[in-house]
Structure 1
């Protein structure tokens, strides 16, 4: 199925402008029939006009404000589900275009000064650009409970869009393996730090600092070599554990390679069970189970362990603004809620703008379950993923946007910018489709002194950014045209409805005016002038009776009396 065909999700709801023409023709035929009926029974013009306008008013109210909107919502409800054979399902299982994936690395420009206790000075290098192809594999339908099972897989292909870097650029970052290993042992088994200190010297040839200098491509996907051809006990002990790590690639018997994003590339994730939305359109895409369970076991409360929302590639249609966009992020072991910000337009389509943050576990009672310990919470806008992935990596928005100012003050060179660093979704609420989205996250590692590890002696405590990523989509005209056609038809029907409604009201007003004008016209009998010769037969214009048998004598007498 071609992308163009897939994009026509809504194009056949109302084929071309036939529906509008049908409504107008129906109104015209109905009106003509009403006029002909009124003519046959010889009604006066005001009555004909009044009846016609009244019927037309009722008809257009029913069609324009009741029938037509219900036709749209009914059609959308029946279409937006993941039942086999639907185009929505095809797009859900494999997005027919690559998402834009950009990576920015923070180059540390003063590594040796940082070793001596100075604040890190950073320079952003990037973007390094990739197409991200999303698909679901090992798909299985469960007809009984209207669900679908799948594994999500993302594949990255490097591209050279305008402004993108080649990846051969050399950068300096804190060594993720050294810093990550020390921070993890501090949490899990502080008594083993002496062993770790010896292993670092053995495996990394007695390094002078914790920093790694390498090509961007090696750091991100190709891999940086770890030499495990060591003979000492400490080195062998650590290397034996490293060889069992699923995220490291085995280059040879004694050589391993690590890369920041390689473990995610073309690797199916854990099994997901989601609702198809056939029985209830509000459930479409909602994740019911992750890795075989209906709630995770990471955080201390049921609320934070709850699996809520979709996987972010689909949302239910006809959502209200207050409901927000809820998605479950396995990499963060939590659900995120994008909240409504404002109404706007995208490519001429009325949409809603939503935005999300990581909250504030230090103040928000509902988020305190994400604190590293019940007594220690990170400040606003930052989250520790240790309980989620087993390594103390801190996640935030890029350049510490929307985080506590202390994190920004701990390093030099960051410049938070709302337009560049916020999480944003432009969402068409009627059909439930994101038309524009930028998901941005920054990955950091805590840096603090530790006297038991030689190269950790003099650090000034800070949170050190390593890199940040942007996953984006901007639908072009091929995919927005069906939405624009739908809104165009709605606009035409709306204009037609209000025009006919106004016309019927004017008709009623005209009918009322003509009716009362005719009702106020009376037939008056002319008054004849009385002559003396007609005195015996005078016509009374009051009673209308002839006064006969009264002679002049009687009248004279009466006057005298």
Structure 2
């Protein structure tokens, strides 16, 4: 077999091999390996990380201290100043696990545990803050919504429980407001005070200090306390379902908003996402504190520790204009403007949620308060997400909690307020995977990159080999082979002298010539 033919066969075989194995089989092998790894089956490494996250999330709280309480009581516009961050570690775990093999599901109770953290930017939690008392403000607003006729009784209860306060604004330490609790004196004997205190003592979010007193804090009741039970798919049978919530508190949908679209539970609990997602799918997660699911949408491509990732962002929408979000309105006629959501149906308190500093909110909210400076870098919800493995490598979930400030003639302390939305505090939950945790992801991309380069290199060499073989074959077809003939020396025939003489004698003319010669 000639060399061009051998070269063509070798190059062709290499091309077929690299196309079949390198371009077709290897990506399928990678995907198959990821599918096998990314599920919540007992004994799986991912299951262990899901049940107990092996690192702490950063949890930061910023409180808005009120600078002009007296002016507000006389109808002035609130002036606030952000104080923080107050820093904590947040450890996430799941307890009371149950598996259902036939359904490919697991049930669990989520637990968030907080510990005080230190840092160069962290503020001492003994710092004093001036705020509108959350219990007084919340109680009056709730009664005004549900039983406005009971506002006079509520005013009397406030005077009894808080000993004739002259203002709804109080100065407290940050640690008491956030975790330890602000004491509420329920050792009262009057009818109005006892009626309110009876309800307060039955409230699970308040902590009983002694027989008479209860303590209120913003986060303390949640600390190390199991949340409502969740059942989610494990993703063994279908990797695309991993972590997706099936039921929350025993129900496949909520009964909060009374509209199926808003009561629907979509996505995961936010600690896990399916692998091999497309950027168009978005990242859906259910937020129990908001009684709704949020979807983070793809913004742009970025890199994190050398890993190609996608930047995703979420917001609270615009229920005043978006028809799909109208079901979040308190009533069909009372919808919050862009970027704001009323949690009254969810939390049973007139609590408004927004992004920090009213970022991405209707401008009217920002005009009602002085001292806010919205910044997309500091105040938006952002996630850096790697779609192949389904890994959020960096995230900042930020939410601000606000309360309505309304005038009520029947409550002495509320008579002169100018209607506005008063920012109370905002929180930031952060995840930063270090290089040790992102190394397996980076190694995967390194392998894929090396194989990709090798695939194209072999493919180019194969194409070059086929081209070279074709050229050599063409060249051979155009050439003419000339065989060299060696010069052959011809030996003369031997002369028989006798015959020659005889012939010459018999030839007459020749004989005469011969005789004359001699």
**TM-score scaled by structure 2?**
0.92
Q: Please show how residues 439-518 of structure 1 align to structure 2 within 5 Å.
A: 439-518=397-476
Q: How many pairs were matched up?
A: 485
Partner of 1:349: 307
Partner of 1:222: 180
- Does residue 404 of structure 1 match 2:352? no
**TM superposition shift of 1:211:** 1.0
For 1:163 and 1:343, locate their aligned partners in 2 and report how far apart those are by CA, in whole Å.
Answer: 30
Q: 1:78 aligns with which of 32, 36, 48?
A: 36
1:473-504 deviations in Å (ceiling 9; x for gaps): 10001101111111111111111111111111
For 1:60 and 1:244, locate their aligned partners in 2 and report how far apart those are by CA, in whole Å.
Answer: 70
For 1:525 and 1:480, locate their aligned partners in 2 and report how far apart those are by CA, in whole Å.
Answer: 71
Q: Please show how residues 235-384 of structure 1 align to structure 2 within 5 Å.
A: 235-384=193-342
For 2:242 and 2:441, locate their aligned partners in 1 and report how far apart those are by CA, in whole Å.
Answer: 20
The residue matched to 1:252 in structure 2 has which SS?
coil
**TM superposition shift of 1:210:** 1.2
For 1:267 and 1:154, locate their aligned partners in 2 and report how far apart those are by CA, in whole Å.
Answer: 7
For 1:97 and 1:431, locate their aligned partners in 2 and report how far apart those are by CA, in whole Å.
Answer: 19
Partner of 1:438: 396
Q: 1:164 aligns with which of 122, 127, 131?
A: 122
Partner of 2:139: 181
**TM superposition shift of 1:109:** 0.5
Q: 1:234 aligns with which of 175, 189, 192?
A: 192
The residue matched to 1:310 in structure 2 has which SS?
coil
1:11-66 deviations in Å (ceiling 9; x for gaps): xxxxxxxxxxxxxxxxxxxxxxxxxxxxxxxx111111111111111111112211
**TM superposition shift of 1:131:** 0.4
**TM superposition shift of 1:301:** 1.2
The residue matched to 2:265 in structure 1 has which SS?
coil
**TM superposition shift of 1:192:** 0.3
For 1:525 and 1:342, locate their aligned partners in 2 and report how far apart those are by CA, in whole Å.
Answer: 71
Partner of 1:385: 343
For 1:325 and 1:381, locate their aligned partners in 2 and report how far apart those are by CA, in whole Å.
Answer: 19
Partner of 2:81: 123
**TM superposition shift of 1:89:** 0.2
Partner of 2:49: 91
**TM superposition shift of 1:525:** 8.8
**TM superposition shift of 1:232:** 1.6
Gaps of 5+ in 2: 485-518
**TM superposition shift of 1:524:** 6.4
1:133-158 deviations in Å (ceiling 9; x for gaps): 00000001111111001000000000
Using a 3 Å threshold, how does the CA distance of structure 1 residues 525 and 480 change in structure 2: closer, same or farther? closer
For 1:330 and 1:265, locate their aligned partners in 2 and report how far apart those are by CA, in whole Å.
Answer: 15
For 1:523 and 1:289, locate their aligned partners in 2 and report how far apart those are by CA, in whole Å.
Answer: 85
1:279-331 deviations in Å (ceiling 9; x for gaps): 00000000000011100001131111111100000000000010000001111
Partner of 2:496: none
Q: 1:102 aligns with which of 60, 68, 74?
A: 60
For 1:234 and 1:175, locate their aligned partners in 2 and report how far apart those are by CA, in whole Å.
Answer: 19
For 2:154 and 2:334, locate their aligned partners in 1 and report how far apart those are by CA, in whole Å.
Answer: 26
Partner of 1:61: 19
- Does residue 194 of structure 1 match 2:152? yes
For 1:162 and 1:133, locate their aligned partners in 2 and report how far apart those are by CA, in whole Å.
Answer: 21
Partner of 1:519: 477
- Does residue 413 of structure 1 match 2:355? no
For 2:417 and 2:10, locate their aligned partners in 1 and report how far apart those are by CA, in whole Å.
Answer: 87
For 2:143 and 2:473, locate their aligned partners in 1 and report how far apart those are by CA, in whole Å.
Answer: 94
For 2:228 and 2:27, locate their aligned partners in 1 and report how far apart those are by CA, in whole Å.
Answer: 40
**TM superposition shift of 1:165:** 1.1
